[in-house]
Structures are given as structure tokens and as C-alpha cells.
């Protein structure tokens, strides 16, 4: 067996493994979130109030918006806005405050010109643009392959590049997310004295980080799968 075949079969098996890892990560963040949504924080602040307090403490003028959906919270560096889901905005649970502190962590990264955040933004932009290019390219390749035999290999080559870009985007997302969570823990540990609550914050943020780790594994395995296919197609 050559390398192309080994990569192809091993990645084929690993697809099942990483999908299970991703499902476990997804369900554990959901269960951590619903568990700690029931646990009231000793801070006696809602998510919205915490966001305002953190902005004032750090002399940052951020737009604070509420958005629909569950766990749709995000920081937007373009218009310097903290977008907090309605439930987290109004809740004073440990889960809501952990999420808001994490998003504020991203705002701090932006404010301080944290390099991995900038790299991540570029990587995501490039990866998204490449993905948008995927569908028309596949259609053209199907049409072309009627006339040209090489089209299949070229098409697979492009798919490999697209998955490589997605993998890079996921890889650079990891340090950005872990750093935002570390900032969130530092912020809340300074305000909260209850050690049970500090532990709950850490658990909640760790569960969220695992979903990013799982997504990185998924894109790694898809990249390897198409790389194997490409190498086999090039060889044959
Ligand atoms: Zn984040």
C-alpha cells in the first residue's frame, strides 16, 4: 500500500471518530450551558449589566446589542459591538456571565491589537471566500470532465486547497478562543469570591473550547480524506 491509499483509508475511518467527538463536544456544551443557566451568580448582575460594567471599567465605548437565537453571542470588531443573546442579556446566571465575559475578552483582544485575532480574521475571510468558490467550480468541473480527463484531479486539488484553508482557519481560531476564555476567567475570578462559582465558570468555558477543538479535528480529517483521494487520482 502506498501513502495515498493509507491516508485515504485511515481518514475514512477517522471521519466516524471525529464526528462522534464533535457530537459529544456539542452536547456537553449544551448540558453545561443549561446546568449553569440555572445557577445564579453571586454578582447579582445581568449579562447586559456586566457588559456595561466591563466597558466602563476599561474605558471602552462598545455598542451593546441584543441578538436573537441561543448562544448566538459574538463580538463584532467592524462596528465594535458586543452582541449578546436575549437570554444571556437578561439572565444573572453563571452561564450568562461567563459567555458575556468571554465575548468581552474578544473586545479586549481587539482593543489591544492581539495578533492572533487579526490573523484569524484574515484566515476566516480567505477560507469563506474559497468555500463560496467551491460550488461553481465543482459544477464547471463536472461539465468539463465530459471533455477533459484531467478535470477530476484538478477539481480534487481545488477541494484539497479549500479544506486546507478551512483547517488553517480552525487552527488559528483555537488560540484566539482559549485566550478569550482565559481573559473571561481572570475577569470573573477577580469579581467572584465563591470558589464553586469560579469552578463552574471554568467548566462552562472549557466545554465551549472543546467544540472548537472538535471542529479543528473534523476539518483535519476532511482535509486528509480529500488529500488521499487527490493523490490516488493523480497516481492513477
Ligand atoms: Zn469566542
All three cell numbers of 139, joined, read: 459544477
Q: Which of 115, 119, 117, 92 is nearest to 103 (CA)?
A: 117
Report whether 145 contacts 152 (CB < 8 A): yes
Q: How many domains does the chain have?
A: 1
Q: What is the pLDDT of residue 147?
A: 57
Catalytic machinery residues: 103
Domain of residue 81 covers: 3-235
CA of 174 to the centre of ligand 1 (A): 9
End-to-end distance of the chain based on CA atoms, in angstroms?
A: 14
- What are the residues whose beta carbons fall under 8 Å from the beta carbon of 113, sequence distance 6 or more? none
CA of 106 to the centre of ligand 1 (A): 7
Q: What is the pLDDT of residue 146?
A: 60
The number of CA neighbours under 13 Å toward the Cβ of 229 is: 19
CA of 90 to the centre of ligand 1 (A): 20
pTM across the whole model: 0.89
pLDDT at residue 148 greater than cutoff 70: no
Query: Residue 83 pairs with which residues in a beta bridge?
Result: 65, 74
Which residue in this structure is represented by grid cell 443557566? 37
Q: Which of 109, 129, 101 is nearest to 205 (CA)?
A: 101
In angstroms, the CA 210 to CA 67 distance is: 24
In angstroms, the CA 55 to CA 108 distance is: 10
All three cell numbers of 179, joined, read: 485566550
pLDDT at residue 58 greater than cutoff 70: yes
Query: Residue 74 pairs with which residues in a beta bridge?
Result: 83
Summarised one tens digit per residue, pLDDT across range 21-43 is 999 999 999 999 999 999 999 99
All three cell numbers of 233, joined, read: 487520482
In angstroms, the CA 45 to CA 91 distance is: 8
Query: What does the angle CA 221 – CA 214 – CA 7 come to, to the nearest 5 degrees?
Result: 15
CA of 100 to the centre of ligand 1 (A): 10
CA of 4 to the centre of ligand 1 (A): 36
CA of 108 to the centre of ligand 1 (A): 12
Helices (H), 38-150: 47-57, 86-90, 94-111, 115-144
Summarised one tens digit per residue, pLDDT across range 183-212 is 999 999 999 999 999 999 999 999 999 999
Amino acid at each position: 500500500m502506498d501513502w495515498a491509499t493509507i491516508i485515504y483509508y485511515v481518514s475514512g475511518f477517522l471521519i466516524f471518530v471525529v464526528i462522534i467527538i464533535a457530537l459529544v463536544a456539542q452536547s456537553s456544551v449544551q448540558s453545561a450551558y443549561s446546568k449553569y443557566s440555572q445557577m445564579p451568580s453571586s454578582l447579582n448582575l445581568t449579562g447586559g449589566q456586566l457588559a456595561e460594567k466591563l466597558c466602563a471599567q476599561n474605558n471602552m465605548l462598545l455598542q451593546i446589542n441584543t441578538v436573537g437565537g441561543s448562544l448566538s453571542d459574538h463580538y463584532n470588531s467592524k462596528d465594535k459591538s458586543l452582541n449578546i443573546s436575549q437570554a444571556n442579556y437578561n439572565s444573572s446566571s453563571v452561564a450568562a456571565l461567563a459567555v458575556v465575559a468571554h465575548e468581552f475578552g474578544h473586545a479586549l483582544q481587539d482593543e489591544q491589537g492581539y495578533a492572533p485575532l487579526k490573523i484569524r480574521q484574515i484566515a476566516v475571510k480567505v477560507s469563506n471566500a474559497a468555500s463560496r468558490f467551491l460550488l461553481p467550480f465543482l459544477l464547471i468541473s463536472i461539465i468539463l470532465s465530459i471533455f477533459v480527463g484531467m478535470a477530476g484531479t484538478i477539481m480534487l486539488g481545488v477541494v484539497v486547497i479549500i479544506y486546507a484553508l478551512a483547517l488553517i482557519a480552525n487552527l488559528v481560531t483555537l488560540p484566539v478562543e482559549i485566550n478569550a476564555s482565559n481573559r473571561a476567567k481572570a475577569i470573573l475570578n477577580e469579581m467572584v469570591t465563591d470558589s464553586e462559582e469560579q469552578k463552574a465558570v471554568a467548566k462552562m468555558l472549557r466545554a465551549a473550547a472543546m467544540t472548537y477543538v472538535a471542529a479543528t479535528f473534523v476539518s483535519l480529517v476532511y482535509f486528509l480524506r480529500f488529500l488521499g483521494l487527490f493523490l490516488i487520482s493523480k497516481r492513477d
